Amino acid sequence: MPEPTLSRDELAGLLSGHFAEFLNPASGVTIEEVSHGSARVRQAFAAGMLRPGGTISGPTMMALTDFTMYVALLSAIGWVPLAVTTQLNINFLRRPEPVDLIAEGRLLKLGKRLAVGEVVMRSNGQPEPIAQATSTYSIPPWR
Amino acid sequence: MPEPTLSRDELAGLLSGHFAEFLNPASGVTIEEVSHGSARVRQAFAAGMLRPGGTISGPTMMALTDFTMYVALLSAIGWVPLAVTTQLNINFLRRPEPVDLIAEGRLLKLGKRLAVGEVVMRSNGQPEPIAQATSTYSIPPWR
Amino acid sequence: MPEPTLSRDELAGLLSGHFAEFLNPASGVTIEEVSHGSARVRQAFAAGMLRPGGTISGPTMMALTDFTMYVALLSAIGWVPLAVTTQLNINFLRRPEPVDLIAEGRLLKLGKRLAVGEVVMRSNGQPEPIAQATSTYSIPPWR
Amino acid sequence: MPEPTLSRDELAGLLSGHFAEFLNPASGVTIEEVSHGSARVRQAFAAGMLRPGGTISGPTMMALTDFTMYVALLSAIGWVPLAVTTQLNINFLRRPEPVDLIAEGRLLKLGKRLAVGEVVMRSNGQPEPIAQATSTYSIPPWR
């Protein structure tokens, strides 16, 4: 995988302009690390994410997955905001604790037109994954 | 598929109590129809859903998919709110228009412990699907 | 979806040359119908497909899925044999009977670079699907 | 993950009795390693696996994926041959070389009723994965 084209701070700045509904001071989303086609993103826990049984909602985890993969992709190809997700598959493995979510994404393949990445998600401080996902991106000409 | 155990209005009432963050007057989500293990749900368009390029965000479509499948499942098995999604696969097929989203879900299989459903999503008034998804549910004892 | 570029007989002839290990008199595979980006393919039952419990093996169903989708794709875009599957998701819904398998595939999307299709598989003569799958194809320039 | 309930040789013996069409001297499949809910399986290259363009066929890789996951599962839960795959998602990442395939599988989750595993596949001697897959198993009572 190539060296990151965009640093963590550059990406956070660009994304908070373009994805203001997701990456804003109230959303609780922080890009913690960006490196070599990979990214770690934290979603702070909030009571509104809870579902019956005390579990965190699937859509919260799916939104975090999608965003983490997008950050990992842009860290490698630079600012190509029109890259679009074409497919996403997620396995919900364990019941998340009512704490922050930590998502780690990395590219499995970076082609000229398609990229595929994997995200593994954990409850903060827990070793076992709560979700695992792969997704595919269609990339407009970028090289 | 069995006759619906819960009517549209019964389901909407129960869900708006348990999923207040998703099904509330401000969310723009309406259960339009429930019948025989299937459901049609509308997500009203809102400017906050837009992404660069004028497309509706993937997380908006994934949340609607998850909810629609859940409604289709509960319509068939009754009020078993602890049924959980174990896996979801979604294909993003076409760029959604900036209009309401219409999701139609139906069960492909209803077993004692597992259910599998499919959702097809369209932009309101358009014939071609913008997304197609399948997901699996693990169901606690219910029969 | 466009009118078929290749007829059933033209496709069968081309494929039996290029996929001789799958489409040959001994394989039991027959292309039954090709039309408008869709295809129906039959896999004759053979005792070697059985698994413990009397069920037909998953790989038999996955190979039939992949082939059916490929036929549906080529029926629409013509003879572009280097189109490759980039992703496939299959749900095994019911235990297949020890009889012929019937797979019906159709394109959900046909783009310039990507196509997405769905296959529904049944045991011959049974109404309920035994498997449902979607897959994505990357297509070299063809228009 | 628990210690393996069955050793490599015990598993190979049981499976070659029950899956004679897949695990036999002519099939070129070898269970190389079994350990702690994981398995490494080799598929020897054979000319019959080739597709147009010199690539190894998708069904060959899907069959190897399914078998590797099954071995990883049985290594952890013991001889429960009626465990069945309920869903499988595979990403084809790179064009395989015309050499042996090496599949490494491991369980991501082992529950009472459901197990989820991941397989990463490589061309022998190559560092980059050619395919990545996850699948779900439904397990009859086994504890």
**Would D108 be classed as within a structural domain?**
yes
Considering only the beta carbons, identify the residue of B94, B116, B132 that sits closest to C91: B116
Neighbours of chain B (3+ CB pairs under 8 A): A, C, D
Residue B116 lies in a domain: yes
Give residue D3's pLDDT. Answer: 62
pLDDT digits (tens, 9 = 90+) for D12-66: 999 888 777 778 888 899 999 998 899 999 999 998 888 877 889 999 999 999 9
Q: Which residue of A has its CA nearest to B54?
A: A82
The pLDDT-based confidence of B62 (bands split at 50, 70, 90) is very high
Mutate which of D50, D70, D91 to test chain C, going by most C C-beta atoms within 10 A? Answer: D91
**Which structure tokens are listed for B23?**
């099904």
Alpha-carbon gap, residue A19 to A24, rounded angstroms: 8
Q: Does B2 map to a domain?
A: no
Q: Is A91 helix (H, G, I), strand (E, B) or coil?
A: strand
pLDDT at A143: 58
Range of the domain at D33: 8-138
In this prediction, residue D69 carries a pLDDT of: 96
Q: What is the dihedral of CA A77, A82, A86, A90, to 10 degrees?
A: 70
Residue B86 placed within a domain: yes
| Crossing angle of helices D58-77 and C58-77, rounded to 10° | 150
Q: What is the ipTM of this complex?
A: 0.93
Assess if residue D103 is contained within a domain: yes
Q: For the stretch B133-142, what's the b/e string if a residue is b when 16 or more beta carbons lie within 10 angstroms of its beta carbon? A: bbbbbbbeee
User: Which CATH number belongs to the domain containing residue A66 in this structure?
Assistant: 3.10.129.10
Residue-wise pLDDT tens digits, D106-131: 999 999 899 999 999 999 999 999 99
Q: Could you tell me if residue D143 is inside a domain?
A: no
Instruction: Provide the CB-side half-sphere exposure for A30 (13 A, CA).
Output: 9
pTM value is: 0.94
Residue B44 lies in a domain: yes
Per DSSP, the three-state class of B24 is coil
Is the CB of C136 less than 8 angstroms away from the CB of A89?
no
Specify the number of domains making up chain C.
Answer: 1
CA distance D41 to chain C (A): 16
Domain assignment of residue D1, yes or no: no
Chains meeting C at 3+ CB pairs closer than 8 A? A, B, D
Closest to B66 measured CA to CA, from B131, B1, B141? B131
**In DSSP terms, which residues pair with C107 in a beta bridge?**
C117
* Choice between D11 and A17, residue whose per-residue pLDDT is larger: D11
Residues of B in contact with A86 (CB under 8 A): 91-92
